[in-house]
Amino acid sequence: MAFQQRVFSGVQPTGNLHLGNYLGAIQRFVALQDSYDCLYCVVDMHAITVWQDPAELKKQIREVTAAFIAAGIDPAKHIVFNQSQVSGHAELAWVFNCVARLGWLNRMTQFKEKAGKDRENASVGLYAYPNLMAADILLYRATHVPVGEDQKQHLELARDIAQKFNNDFGPSMTALGLEGTFFPQPEPLIGGPAARVMSLRDGSKKMSKSDPSDLSRINLTDDADTVASKIRKAKTDPEPLPSEAEGLKGRPEAENLVGIYAALADISKEKVLAEFGGGQFSTFKAALVDLSVAKLGPVGSEMKRLVSEPSHIDAILRDGAARARVIADETMRQVKDIVGFVR
Ligand code: AQP
């Protein structure tokens, strides 16, 4: 079956949207708008897999929506919405809870990292998170999913779930006259120089919203002075920058800053090193500050302007959810028939 080319991706409203979310995901969402029909979702149901203060959660949902729009996503041409307004996500996730195997989920490294040592106390939702993510994507039968590298394993699981559903229910689909495969194999779109942006304080850890040190990340709402100070304080090593990308091996902090520059300037790491190789970090950092402020400053100020008008954001989310529901309801109608539920 030929599936309509469609992009789906989501961002959790868990606070402190950072440069990693921007370069690994949001900036790439913007670029895909010209070639695909896109759905960009504020995944609030994923957010509550760890405790969220209800009043803060509302603010954060609006903040992620504002970031999408400030970065250049057009909610009139594409669909921007929050997950909890479309009940199909929860319904399909339940079906997938019954398709995915415990052994598959036991292999998910993100659960192990997030649950940490206190595994017994982690929510069931955190454990089942990848099944909900598979439902998010497959509810729209999306064919392409732009994500950062940290989500690669979850995408592979979504592909396994799609395949098992198609196999398990193959005879039921045939009986219903549905030809071929029902769910596509969604393709991850991972790549570019900033698929995994690392912490500014430790090149072995990914830049993350939940890192207790604010110096580890550049938040999209940081002002120019804060961005400059965080980049100046970013950990480096004593060697000058190499002139070839090969020379970045074993130098994670240098590689991270060069990757950030390359992604912001939309050039390759080689090109960055052709310009700055052999020089000191101080010169390179000054150029990185200028570039970061020039690129992120307008996004941050537009985000602040948009969040000051919550009713406008809520209207965008309601409109997006209504349009998402049209696709989702049709998928769920067919899924219910395939599974054997009476409607
Ligand atoms: N450091 C990163 N580099 C590149 N891409 C990243 N993403 C996240 N961190 C980086 C990508 O951003 C999108 C949205 O992520 P999310 O908020 O839904 O979830 P996350 O990956 O759990 O983000 P954080 O910042 O790491 O949050 P916490 O600290 O709560 O775990 C995804 O496409 C993700 O790949």
Whole-number Å distance, alpha carbon 109 to ligand 1 midpoint, is 14
* Sign of the alpha-carbon dihedral angle for 246, 248, 252, 257: negative
pLDDT of 121: 96
pLDDT of 3: 83
The H or E element containing residue 145 is: strand 144-146
Mutate to test the pocket of ligand 1, among 63, 150, 216 (most ligand atoms within 8 A of CB): 150
pLDDT tens profile 142-197: 999 999 999 999 999 999 999 999 999 999 999 999 977 999 999 999 988 899 99
Which domains does the chain possess? 6-195+310-339 (3.40.50.620), 214-305 (1.10.240.10)
In this predicted structure, the answer to whether residue 9 has a pLDDT above a threshold of 80 is yes
Q: If you take atom 27 of ligand 1, which residue's CA is the nearest one?
A: 209
Averaged pLDDT, 60-64 = 98
Whole-number Å distance, alpha carbon 208 to ligand 1 midpoint, is 6
Atom of ligand 1 nearest to the CA of 114: 31
Report pTM: 0.95
The H or E element containing residue 60 is: helix 54-71
Residue type, 309: E
CB atoms within 10 A of CB 40: 28
Averaged pLDDT, 230-237 = 97
Any atom of ligand 1 within 6 Å of the Cβ of 150: yes
Whole-number Å distance, alpha carbon 12 to ligand 1 midpoint, is 8
**What end-to-end distance do the CA atoms of the chain give, in Å?**
25
pLDDT of 1: 63
Q: Give CA–CA dist 318/314, Å, rounded.
A: 6
